[in-house]
A and B are shown apart, each in its own frame.
Chain A
Amino acid sequence: MKAVDIALKDLWHSVRNAMFIVFGLLLPMSTGALFYFAFGGQSGGDEGFALAPIEVQVVNLDEGQMGFSAGELLSGVLRDAIPDLIHAREASDATAARAAVDRQQAAVAVIVPAGFTAAIMELEGRAAVELYEDPTLTLGPGIVRGVLSQLVDGFAGTKIAASTAHDQLAASGLSPDATTMQAVAMEYADWTQTVSEGQQSGTNPLFEIQAPPAQEQEGNEGVTGILALIMAGMMVFYVFFTGAASAQSILLEEEAGTLPRLFTTPTRQSTILGGKFISTFMLLAMQVVVLVIISGLLFGVDWGDPLPVAAVTVALVVLASSFGIFITSFLRDTRQGGIIYGGVMTVMGMLGMITVFTGTVPTASNATNTVSLIVPQGWAVRAWRLLLDGAGFGEVLPTVAVMMAAGIVFFVVGVLKFRNRYA
């Protein structure tokens, strides 16, 4: 009962402490919010980046040839490729299109010159599609340029294919006529288009874009996925800080004289230290639960099934509070605490969080995963990442077991050191 009295007293002190409110709750939340807004999350849930539509003026001066118009194809692609993002409109002439860009009514003017199709069809033909861009913009014109480049590269490829076919036929003593060359060009164009469509639909037979595992998550996609990962990292980072700071109350009470005074009362030393440890545990549990709930409500983070979330929460609380007790047991006074918390804990926290920042870099993930597991924070981050990837209880259990085991070791060492200190 006395242990609970001590725990409640400490807990009451902690929750009224501005440092806990700032470092325990506000900083993790505000860091998450910072990323959330930085990635455009304010414009709508899980829909990803909300870019403003790119206004494009298209002038097609190409007459086409033999029923085919490369200019028309190019205009159509611009119109239909990403209709939500690229708003392509026909302009009456090149001057009007450029004027629209100058007035910032359009981000880009795309001017397809006369004879564009003929230039593609003829072996010696030359033509250039003009892109007239608003120099104050970068992203919109860049996207339009990317779309056009892909198409124009296809045309250039067609031309090279036709030229190569012509040279090979000529070398064989054959003299291909215009219809044959056109058939070659059309066949190449069809193949290019198939490949291009395959790229867009993810079924390209030549190469494949493979997303890292973190992007295959079920519950958190886009901005929310990034935010969830950052929230997890921040939560682990600050929970370990809170654990150490809470355990530091033992040193603070020692310096204030209240701990020695407690030892003059008929209260066992184990009860006094036990009360302080209970307080640390309760404080961290409260912090994690609040952060999990608020991040879910405010940012739509889906932490996963309640059972594995509960298991990881308990493991994090045990590990962080035990680690706080462990590290504080090595300190002589709170002055040393400043150095430890300011330096060592920060470095360890950053090391543990390293996978949060490299999570989207496939080549870095394995190495950083290994490095981050040197510190207890790394295991905690790993557990939360598993949850965000949709892991079930069985999948998080090994990591939870490691966290609990490490927590017990830290706790036992810390308690023994404190017992010897006040014996």
Chain B
Amino acid sequence: MNNGSAVQARGLHKSFGDVNAVRGVSFEVNAGEIFSLLGPNGAGKSTTISILACLLQPTKGDASVMGHSVLKESMGVKAAIGVVPQEIALYEDISARENLSFWGKMYGLRGPKLAQRVDEVLEVIGLTSRQKGRVDKFSGGMKRRLNIGIALLHKPQVIIMDEPTVGIDPQSRRNILDNVKELNRQGMTVLYTTHYMEEAQELSDRIAIMDQGQIIARGTHDQLVKIVGELDRINLTLSASSEQLLAAWRSTDGVHQVSATAQPDEPVLDGAVTLLVDDSNVVLPRILEKATNAGVRVTSIDIQEPNLEAVFLHLTGRALRD
């Protein structure tokens, strides 16, 4: 069953009354890779993660982690995984070190080995100097790091991270993303959920896009982007409308499409023009030259290379953060 895959989900369903939170989710996470579940809030990512962490039983289907079935060998699964929950789950009235020691015991660590792992994890999450501080005095970022540290104590083979960067400052976020990459570099398999396209793009070897309880696309970043083609999108705002200029742009080499709206489903705005081009770096100078020749001033330029946001938009008709 475990042919190089650390996690396998097969036809997972989960219903809460009449609500079908997860509908037939199947995917595989290869050992040693970072695999992201990307989707908006309510897509079913956390429910899927909860099934893999043995917190919820699937209504239908099964999943395995390092060869252990979540239905039949939950203790084996739990020993193999470290879970970073979406909400900060710490004992706030004790210190960082006391938290790590307690959770280490829950993972079966004792004595000198426990103390050593606590020291190592404190080093990894950068809280060695604050190890005796009460957690309720910590910043949000520090709590997030400790939240992650707990999941690392027993050196799990798979770490499952459920939106670990929600609601924190950019610096802490950067720190967490770097930590994830470092853990993966050390050989840990990472299953990561997020609704931040940039995080999935930066971290992931492979990505599954989820919406309304289903996986609607999966693959590497490049594979996903190809779903919407490889054209760059240039959004321009002009000082005045000019049919003559639009005609000139349409005849420009490398320009595939010119429309006078920013998005197909957005209302027409005066002076707003969207162009689909081969390579914006090459085509943009030509476009600006023609605008100058036509006596029209370009007041703003926004260049969008093909990305996961566009993929999600293409597949669902909605923005990822809707």
Contacts and interface: CB of A to CB of B under 8 A. Distances in A.
Interface of A: 1-2, 5, 9, 12-13, 16, 256-258, 260-268, 423
B273 interface: no
A260 B85 contact: yes
Q: Which 8 A/B pairs are nearest by Cβ-Cβ distance?
A: A257-B89, A265-B106, A261-B89, A264-B83, A266-B78, A266-B79, A257-B87, A264-B53
A270 to B, nearest CB: 12
A16 B106 CA distance: 22
Interface in B32-85: 53-55, 57, 75, 78-79, 81, 83, 85
B227 interface: no
14 contacts: A5-B102, A5-B105, A16-B93, A256-B89, A257-B85, A257-B88, A258-B91, A260-B55, A261-B85, A265-B103, A265-B106, A266-B79, A267-B78, A423-B57
B90 interface: yes
A2 B106 contact: yes
Nearest to A256: B89
A13 B93 CA distance: 8
B167 to A, nearest CB: 14
Nearest to A8: B102
Interface string B108-127: 10000000000000000000
A12 B103 CA distance: 15
Interface string B143-158: 0000000100000000
A265 B106 CA distance: 6
A343 B78 CA distance: 41
B107 interface: yes
Interface in B231-264: none
Contacts of A262: 106
Given A1-B105, A267-B106, 16 more contacts: A9-B91, A9-B102, A16-B93, A256-B89, A257-B85, A257-B89, A260-B89, A261-B85, A261-B150, A262-B106, A263-B54, A263-B55, A264-B55, A264-B83, A265-B106, A265-B107
Nearest to B153: A265
Nearest to A10: B91
Contacts of B103: 265
Contacts of B53: 264
A13 B94 CA distance: 8
A268 B102 CA distance: 16
A256 B135 CA distance: 14
Contacts of A268: 75
Best-buried of B54, B75, B102, B107 by chain A (most CB within 10 Å): B102
Given A263-B54, A264-B55, A258 B107 contact: no
A283 to B, nearest CB: 16
Nearest to B92: A256
Contacts of B108: 266
Contacts of A256: 89
A2 B105 contact: yes
Nearest to A271: B106
A66 B93 CA distance: 90
Given A13-B93, A256-B89, A261 B83 contact: yes
A190 to B, nearest CB: 79
B107 A266 contact: yes
A332 to B, nearest CB: 15
Nearest to B87: A257
Contacts of B75: 266, 268
A312 to B, nearest CB: 33
Contacts of A267: 78, 106
A261 B151 CA distance: 10
B3 to A, nearest CB: 25
B78 A258 contact: no
B144 to A, nearest CB: 13
A260 to B, nearest CB: 6
Best-buried of A12, A13, A264 by chain B (most CB within 10 Å): A264
Given A2-B105, A265-B103, A265-B106, A258 B90 contact: yes
Nearest to A261: B89
A258 B107 CA distance: 14
Best-buried of A16, A260, A261 by chain B (most CB within 10 Å): A261
A116 B83 CA distance: 100
B52 to A, nearest CB: 10
A264 B78 contact: yes
Contacts of B55: 260, 263-264
A261 B81 CA distance: 12
A381 B257 CA distance: 87
Contacts of B91: 9, 13, 258
B231 to A, nearest CB: 44
Nearest to A5: B105
A267 B102 CA distance: 13
A41 to B, nearest CB: 38
Contacts of B57: 423
A260 B54 CA distance: 10
A334 to B, nearest CB: 16
A263 B75 CA distance: 10
A5 B101 CA distance: 10
Contacts of A5: 102, 105-106
B145 to A, nearest CB: 16
Contacts of A2: 105-106
A265 B78 contact: yes
Contacts of B87: 257
Contacts of A264: 53-55, 78, 81, 83, 85
Contacts of A1: 105
B242 to A, nearest CB: 57
A5 B94 CA distance: 14
Contacts of A263: 54-55
B143 to A, nearest CB: 12
Nearest to B57: A423
Interface string B130-148: 0000000000000000000
B56 to A, nearest CB: 10
Best-buried of A258, A262, A266 by chain B (most CB within 10 Å): A266
A256 B91 CA distance: 9
Nearest to A423: B57
Nearest to A17: B93
A9 B89 CA distance: 15
Contacts of B150: 261
